[in-house]
């Protein structure tokens, strides 16, 4: 794959990357930063991609790592008041992401990758470096937990 083809494929993935970052980061500016940093890192490390057919999986893995880096920095820097401010959002699908953020990080990402981005369990397993059975279990557990969250919210209304 030429550098030009690589760049084009990477740019076409921006929306997918942003949606995946939504499952990991609450602040829209942090999401933008994660996507931008991922594009830069992927470009600089393009020689590490062994097989073209895994480019999207590889790039999403870079994004996930970048989201973890941002999350670690936030943990060290953010006060409780700042975290409360971040919770308020005007993002599209804010209610869905609020429900997703009530799930643990391990359950949230597979749900977004599978149901929003359309990846198969074996692809998610590759991205996350876990067995396919673990991904299937996480998806099942997340669906059950989301069902409970939705029922709980319906009671409150």
- Encode pLDDT of 2-47 as tens digits: 888 888 988 888 888 998 888 888 888 888 999 999 999 998 988 8
Q: 145 vs 150, which has greater pLDDT?
A: 145
Distance (Å) of CA 108 to CA 97, 98, 112: 9, 11, 7
Of 24, 16, 17, 18, whose CA–CA distance to 108 is shortest?
24
pLDDT at 140 over 50: yes
Residue 51 confidence (pLDDT): 84
What is the reported pTM? 0.61
Q: For residue 133, what pLDDT is reported?
A: 94
Mapped onto helix, strand or coil, the DSSP state of residue 23 is coil
> pLDDT confidence of 56, banded at 50, 70, 90?
confident
Whether residue 64 contacts residue 21, with contact meaning beta carbons closer than 8 Å, is answered with: no
Q: What is the pLDDT of residue 126?
A: 87
The proportion of the chain whose per-residue pLDDT surpasses 90, expressed as a percent, equals: 17
Distance of CA 79 to the CA centre of its chain: 23
Residue 61 and residue 13 in contact, taking contact as beta carbons nearer than 8 Å: no
Residue-range domains of the chain with CATH? 1-88 (1.10.1740.10), 92-157 (1.10.10.10)
- Phi-psi region at 138: left, alpha or beta (left = phi > 0; alpha = psi -120 to 50): alpha
């Amino acid at each position: 794959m030429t550098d030009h083809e690589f760049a084009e494929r990477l740019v076409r993935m921006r929306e997918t990357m942003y949606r995946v970052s939504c499952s990991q980061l609450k602040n829209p500016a942090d999401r933008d930063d994660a996507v931008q940093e991922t594009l830069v890192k992927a470009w600089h490390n393009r020689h590490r991609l062994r097989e073209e057919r895994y480019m999207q999986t590889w790039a999403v893995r870079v994004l996930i790592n970048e989201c973890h880096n941002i999350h670690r920095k936030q943990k060290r820097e953010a006060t409780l008041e700042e975290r409360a401010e971040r919770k308020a959002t005007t993002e599209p699908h804010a209610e869905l992401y609020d429900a997703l953020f009530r799930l643990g990080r391990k359950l949230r990402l597979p749900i977004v990758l599978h149901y929003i981005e359309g990846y198969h369990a074996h692809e998610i397993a590759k991205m996350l470096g876990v067995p396919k059975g673990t991904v299937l279990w996480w998806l099942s557990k997340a669906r059950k937990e989301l069902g409970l969250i939705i029922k709980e919210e319906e009671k409150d209304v």
